[in-house]
Structure 1
């Protein structure tokens, strides 16, 4: 059992585990709505759209969290503004901002000749470098995500099915949509330091997508996604310690692998053999019914 527990006796690995669990909770709350509303492309674009702010903050010696927050907020506001045009689809506006923000980030990075190491950490994360004050920030972000999810739950649920119905019920779908973008922004900004801007999308989507295949209640999906994220963090850190792989990438790869395991199990379950046919009605035109 030493191989299972020894890595987490090291202080920075233990902090990484706590950080990953907190991030898993944040991503579960936001990722559930992303998956249910089909906003995966938006989540991916916002994860990449943070790069300009993070790169600029790093070059100027400022706060990476602040730079990421400002950049992601600008991305969210831009998507909201462009989506109001009746002649432009949301996918088009997201794609344009995605490419524009990513290009801006690359341009900023290209002005520094000594940015290679920092860029690697920004893109792929450095979970083992999490500091105690980062844990406080993550805990605060999780608390904020819980509040947003509780306050906006009814409106978020209505948006998943019919925005016009939400308007009829007085749930203000536009405000709810903006709040959901804020929740996604919060999750991405809080998570990028752990798994990086390029890998945060996997932790945001994979656990929630894995749970959607099994659960039918939104709170259950969220709790299950948080649990899968925590398992991915523990397993990823363990594998990384023993194999020498990048910790953030290993955590994300584990989360994606768990999704495929869940998808395979769900496929097998839905294809399970049925019981013997039972004749319930022999009137003409009716066949035997099967009971699972």
Structure 2
């Protein structure tokens, strides 16, 4: 399918779900790209996967009562994040251990809840792998307003979140409320994950949160540029992934992730400063560039 054909399908009233799918895919990818920068800076890749598990009971309850999946997942994720933040104040047990305990327990609770609903097998597949073709209009608005709220909080607390992400002890020493900033970051990650679940699914959502910021990290040393590149990579991956998915009848979530991964691999190889080829070239210059030229030795 050509790009012109794809654009034609986007404007076809009989395919009204397609522009909605594109809007949600791009919005969620952009938001995940921004929030994921803090996750990458803090070295908390595990948190994205854990939050995806934590929101599952909320999704299950929302499905059983025919409520909003976005709202149900957000409530469950935020409650679990608050429990993690509170229990993490006791330094006897490490934060990553608490994350493993609570978030996996939440996922198990979700499985038990949804197993009690009729027809749960198909719904479980939808939760795990995403279902972008049947998105109701209310979820489109929910994702839009939630994404705008997330970006507003990021804009207002950017310096504080960066300080906590880079050096928690230094942030605490200068008087920043580290505990509350931890909660804010957990909530932001939770909301970013929830609005992405219908696009990418529970299993693959970590890629949307981590891969674009990781690629941006390879392309620049400046945090401001990284914060701009990550959502561009995420949104572009969603756009290209949806186009390829629609053209070749591929799963949307998996295709978006593969496009984002291809961008990461390209950055890993060809990034002008931190790419593999650039580092190899610098190594060759260091190794051979300092040798004395032939014939310049003293007799």
Instruction: Please give the TM-score of this superposition, normalised by the length of structure 2.
Output: 0.87
Q: Is the 8 A contact 1:202 1:252 kept in 2?
A: yes
Q: CA deviation at 1:8?
A: 3.1
Q: Is the 8 A contact 2:216 2:229 kept in 1?
A: yes
Q: Is the 8 A contact 2:77 2:187 kept in 1?
A: no
Q: CA deviation at 1:128?
A: 2.3
Moved more, 266-275 or 97-106: 266-275
Q: Which residue of 1 aligns with 2:10?
A: 8
Change in CA separation of 1:178 and 1:95 when aligned onto 2, cut-off 3 Å? same
| Distance (whole Å) between structure 1 residues aligned to residue 260 and residue 114 of structure 2 | 29
- Aligned pair partner of 1:268 in 266, 270, 277: 277
Q: Which residue of 2 aligns with 1:91?
A: 96
The answer on 1:130 being equivalent to 2:130 is: no
| Distance (whole Å) between structure 2 residues aligned to residue 249 and residue 114 of structure 1 | 24
Q: RMSD in angstroms over aligned alpha carbons?
A: 2.0
| Distance (whole Å) between structure 2 residues aligned to residue 143 and residue 84 of structure 1 | 31
Q: Which residue of 1 aligns with 2:182?
A: 177
| Distance (whole Å) between structure 2 residues aligned to residue 132 and residue 268 of structure 1 | 46
Q: How many residues align?
A: 280
Gaps of 5+ in 1: 281-292
Q: Which residue of 2 aligns with 1:256?
A: 261
Q: Which residue of 2 aligns with 1:283?
A: none
SS in 1 for 2:67: coil
- Aligned pair partner of 2:35 in 17, 30, 36: 30
SS in 2 for 1:128: coil
Change in CA separation of 1:4 and 1:268 when aligned onto 2, cut-off 3 Å? farther
- Aligned pair partner of 2:226 in 194, 205, 221: 221
Q: Is the 8 A contact 1:29 1:145 kept in 2?
A: no
SS in 2 for 1:197: helix
Q: CA deviation at 1:115?
A: 1.3
Q: Which residue of 2 aligns with 1:151?
A: 156
Q: CA deviation at 1:243?
A: 1.9
The answer on 1:112 being equivalent to 2:117 is: yes
| Distance (whole Å) between structure 2 residues aligned to residue 199 and residue 139 of structure 1 | 21
The one-character-per-residue Cα deviations of 1:190-243 (angstroms, maximum 9, x if unpaired) are: 211222222211111110111111122222112111111112111211221122
Q: Is the 8 A contact 1:235 1:254 kept in 2?
A: yes
SS in 2 for 1:198: helix
Q: CA deviation at 1:247?
A: 1.3
The one-character-per-residue Cα deviations of 1:18-73 (angstroms, maximum 9, x if unpaired) are: 21111122101210000110111111101111111101110121221221011101
Q: Which residue of 2 aligns with 1:51?
A: 56
The answer on 1:60 being equivalent to 2:65 is: yes
Q: Is the 8 A contact 1:83 1:89 kept in 2?
A: yes
Q: Which residue of 2 aligns with 1:192?
A: 197
- Aligned pair partner of 1:233 in 227, 232, 238: 238
The answer on 1:204 being equivalent to 2:216 is: no
The answer on 1:70 being equivalent to 2:75 is: yes
Instruction: Please give the TM-score of this superposition, normalised by the length of structure 1.
Output: 0.89
Q: Is the 8 A contact 1:128 1:247 kept in 2?
A: no
Q: CA deviation at 1:6?
A: 4.2
Q: CA deviation at 1:100?
A: 0.7
Q: CA deviation at 1:278?
A: 6.1
